[in-house]
Amino acid sequence: MLFPLAWMVLAAFKTEVDVFSTRLLFKPTLDNFRAIFSDPILLGSHIWVSALVSFLTVAITVPLGAAAAYVLSRHRFRGRESLSLIILITQFIPAVVVAIPFFTLFRSAGLIDTPIALVIIYLSFTLPYAIWMLRGFFDALPVEVEEASFIDGCNEFQTLRHVTVPLVMPGILVSAVFAFISAWNEFFFALILTRQNSLTLPIAIQSISGPRGPEWQQLAAAGLLVMVPIMVMSLFIRKYFVEGITVGAIK
Amino acid sequence: MKAGQLRSGGLRWMLLGPALVVILATVVSPLVSSFITSFRDWRLIYSPTPGAFVGMDNYTRALSDAGFLNSLRVSGLYMLMSVTMTLLIGLGIALLLAKPTRLNVFARTLLIFPFAVAPVLKGYSWRFMLNPDYGVYAKMLGAVIPPLKGYLWLGHEFSALLSIVMSEVWGWAPLFALMFIGALGSIPGETTEAAKVDGATSVQIFFRITLPLLAPVIYIVALLKIISAFKMFDQVAIMTGGGPGNSTQTLYYYVYQVAFRNLDMGYASAVSYILVAIMALLAFLYVRVLLREH
């Protein structure tokens, strides 16, 4: 099961000759990393585009999602359940349907190949997802804690700031990680909305191909750079990982 | 005193408002927009603005479009293969790691990794490993089954689709296993012990006790996988580009081609709405199951 992963990790440190041999022993080298970083068209700037796009997506998704999730969990008002349900259902919308109007819109607005376009379109799936996941976290928090704070004379805003948000912090972190992962790994939208200036890593690694097909050892090194941050983050939220996916990470 | 009394309506819309605006702008309005486009003739190569309304033409065109019908068949076949294989392999891994020994608990941690790998990387690593000249999997399979020596996995219709299925099963089966392990943990040990005392074989225990108790989880994850199967795009783009011929052209990939290669926006919108209809049916089932669970 871990074999393809192990292969990629090893290949990242191999020379071209070693990649194509099935021998187990080889002399590790850092040349591949040097190559992909020194050549500007390979990875140089793309890693920053990816980081920027993912970071902005998280920075908008998490506060907006948490605020909405709080209201949907704690406030009683008409249409609350239908609203939650509509938000869940948006998770099932195939990205390609949303992509068609966005593509024509961004084209006429001159936003194709900009990080902004990617962030806007990524919000279409990270935000509804974050709201659903965070609603679960707010629902799991006993309402009595907040009631005690109200009795102590705090208003709703103070309670939210000093009691509710700190208690639901693990949930906020989990939703941040999920939003980051989906933006960082995203391929489809990045493929249609970028050309050369705002290529994210999943798209940029396609350019790693020599005259005889992909330079596999460099591709593996680039893959490792894409993979490692996500692996580390997944480990942090291990406890919530499976649950998070059943809630609606259908992408 | 009830907490609800202290929650203000003003704050409610202040907190909910921004998220609703973003969802309206990024999900609802594009959905409405492409629905309208699906009734228009709009080829982006000829005109930057939408063309005339053509009624149901785009939809009826799909019914006689060989490319579309083929993609429907490919997606269906892909869905059947990937769902069955993910379920079986996931269940196998779960049963293997069910006992909470130290080694098993460690192994379970590793199970989340394949799912977290970007689909693009899944595609590339499988493409490499299935290469007949230097791919490890291709060589191993060739050694075990001699007729498969030097076989072009991505060059034949069925095996290309199977390869894409494998790349996806590799990511999902461990995840399914994690869900099954969770469910297995909630089965009381006494039940199986009692059955053993009564002389039940392990096969009987599996089919009479374990499987029925796992059924609700199986139902949920199978639906989840069916839904994701209809969204298969990334590995197709990386591993085969829809080929050989059009044998791996999933519905999703077909819409992509019509929309962003042929720039036939009206027709692409109509086909994408057929995909939406399939999704809506699956979403309906999923939400019903999910809500019953909670």
Can you give the C-alpha Rg of chain B in angstroms?
Answer: 24
Closest residue on chain A to B239 (Cα): A206
Residue B264 confidence (pLDDT) above 80: yes
- Test A76 with B23 for CB contact under 8 angstroms: no
Copy the structure tokens of residue B177: 């296993």
Task: Return the CATH class of domain B56-293.
Answer: mainly alpha
Global confidence as pTM: 0.90
Determine the residue among B31, B79, B120, B226 to mutate to test chain A binding: the one whose Cβ has the most chain A Cβ atoms within 10 Å.
B120
* Distance (Å, whole) CA A209 – CA A176: 33
Task: Scan residues 74-113 of A and list those with Cβ closer than 8 Å to B.
Answer: 74-77, 85, 87-90, 92-104, 107-108
Q: Which residues of A touch B2 (CB under 8 A)?
A: 147
- As to burial, measured by CB atoms within 10 angstroms (0-12 exposed, 13-18 middle, 19+ buried), residue B200 is middle
pLDDT of residue A40: 59
User: Tell me: the pLDDT tens digits for B203-255?
Assistant: 888 888 888 888 888 888 888 899 899 999 999 999 998 889 899 999 999 99
Distance of CA B282 to the CA centre of its chain: 12
Alpha carbon distances (Å) from B228 to A95, B218, B231:
12, 15, 5
Cα end-to-end distance, chain B, whole Å:
28
For residues A121 and A193, is the Cβ–Cβ distance under 8 A?
yes
Task: Find the Cα–Cα–Cα–Cα dihedral B2, B7, B8, B12, rounded to 10°.
Answer: -140
- From chain A residues 133-172, the ones with a CB under 8 A of any chain B CB are 143, 146-147, 150-151, 155-157
Contact A234, B113 (CB under 8 A): yes
CA distances from A209 to A38, A220, B138, B265 (A): 16, 12, 21, 32
Kindly list the domain boundaries of chain B, sorted by start residue. Answer: 56-293
Nearest to B130 by CA among B239, B234, B243, B246: B239
CB-nearest to A187 from B93, B120, B227 is B120
pLDDT over 90, % of chain A: 39
φ, ψ dihedrals at B252, nearest 5°: -60, -45
pLDDT band at B1 (very low <50, low <70, confident <90, very high): very low
pLDDT digits (tens, 9 = 90+) for B65-76: 999 999 999 999
Instruction: Report pLDDT for A70.
Output: 94
HEC states along A189-205? HHHHHCCCCCCCHHHHH
Tokens standing for residue A136: 């679960």
Task: Note the pLDDT tens digit of each residue in B149-183.
Answer: 778 888 888 899 999 999 999 989 998 998 898 88
Within 10 angstroms of residue B93's Cβ, the number of other Cβ atoms is 22
Interval B193-199 mean pLDDT: 82
The answer to whether the beta carbons of residues A187 and B119 sit under 8 Å apart is yes
